[in-house]
Amino acid sequence: MPRNLSETDVADFREKLCEVATALFVEKGPEGLNMRELAARMGVSAMTPYRYFKDKNEILSAIRARAFSRFADQLEKALAQPGTPPERSRAVGLAYVRFALEQSCCYRLMFDLSRPRLAPLPELFAAERRARATMTDHVRLMVREGYFHGDPELIGSVLWAGLHGVVTLRLSGALGEDGEFEVVLAEAMRVLSGAYRTR
Amino acid sequence: MPRNLSETDVADFREKLCEVATALFVEKGPEGLNMRELAARMGVSAMTPYRYFKDKNEILSAIRARAFSRFADQLEKALAQPGTPPERSRAVGLAYVRFALEQSCCYRLMFDLSRPRLAPLPELFAAERRARATMTDHVRLMVREGYFHGDPELIGSVLWAGLHGVVTLRLSGALGEDGEFEVVLAEAMRVLSGAYRTR
DNA sequence: AATATACCGTAACGGTGGTAATATGGATCG
DNA sequence: CGATCCATATTACCACCGTTACGGTATATT
pTM of structure: 0.93
What pLDDT digit, counting tens, does each position of B69-118 carry? 999 999 999 999 999 999 999 999 999 999 999 999 999 999 988 775 67
Question: Which residue's CA lies closest to nucleotide D28 at its C1' atom?
Answer: B1
| Chain B nearest C-alpha distance from A152 (Å) | 12
The answer to whether A197 and A143 are in contact (CB under 8 A) is no
- CA separation for the pair A152, B187 (Å, rounded): 13
- Tell me: pLDDT of A1 over 80: no
In angstroms, the CA of B185 and the C1' of D25 are apart by 59
Protein-covered nucleotides of chain C (CB closer than 7 Å) are 4-12, 15-21, 25-28
Check if the beta carbon of residue A171 is closer than 8 Å to that of residue B113. Answer: yes
Residue A20 has phi, psi (to 5 degrees) of -65, -40
Q: What is the pLDDT of residues A110-167, one digit of tens each?
A: 998 877 567 778 888 899 899 899 889 999 999 999 999 999 999 999 999 999 999 9
**Angstroms from A157 CA to nearest CA on chain B:** 7
User: Within an 8 Å CB–CB cutoff, is residue B132 touching chain A?
Assistant: yes
d(CA A159, CA A14): 34
Nucleotide nearest residue A3, measured CA to C1': C26
Beta bridge partners of B197: B148
- Tell which residue, A157, A63, A162, has the closest CA to residue A108: A63
What is the DSSP annotation of A47-108? TGGGGTSSSHHHHHHHHHHHHHHHHHHHHHHHHHSSS-HHHHHHHHHHHHHHHHHHTHHHHH
**CA-based nearest residue to B135, from B162, B102, B166:** B162
Contacts (Cβ under 8 Å, ≥6 apart) of B120: B61
Percent of chain A with pLDDT over 70: 96
Can you give the distance from the CA of residue B4 to the C1' of nucleotide D16 in angstroms?
Answer: 34
Query: Which residues of chain B register pLDDT less than 50?
Result: none
pLDDT per position as a tens digit, A69-119: 999 999 999 999 999 999 999 999 999 999 999 999 999 999 988 775 677
Closest-CA distance of chain A to residue B81, Å = 27
pLDDT of residue A2: 59
B32 Cβ neighbours under 8 A, 6+ residues apart:
B24, B25
B44 touches strand C (CB under 7 A): yes
* B111: number of Cβ within 10 Å: 24
How many angstroms separate the CA of A2 from the C1' of C28? 9
Contact of B141 with B79, CB cutoff 8 Å: yes
Any chain B CB within 8 A of the CB of A171? Answer: yes
Sorted by sequence, the CB contacts under 8 Å of residue B29 that are 6+ apart come out as A114, A116, B105
Per-residue pLDDT tens over the stretch A172-181: 888 877 899 9
CA→C1' distance for B6 and C2 (Å): 26
Check CB contact under 8 Å for A111 and B112. no
Judged on CB neighbours under 10 Å (0-12, 13-18, 19+), B6 is exposed
The pLDDT of residue A116 is: 59
CA distances (Å), origin A198, targets A6, A144, A150, A175: 55, 12, 10, 31
Query: Smallest Cα–Cα separation from B106: which of B36, B171, B14?
Result: B171
B2 touches strand C (CB under 7 A): yes
Distance CA A30, CA B33 (A): 18
Query: At B24, which helix (H) or strand (E)?
Result: helix B7-32
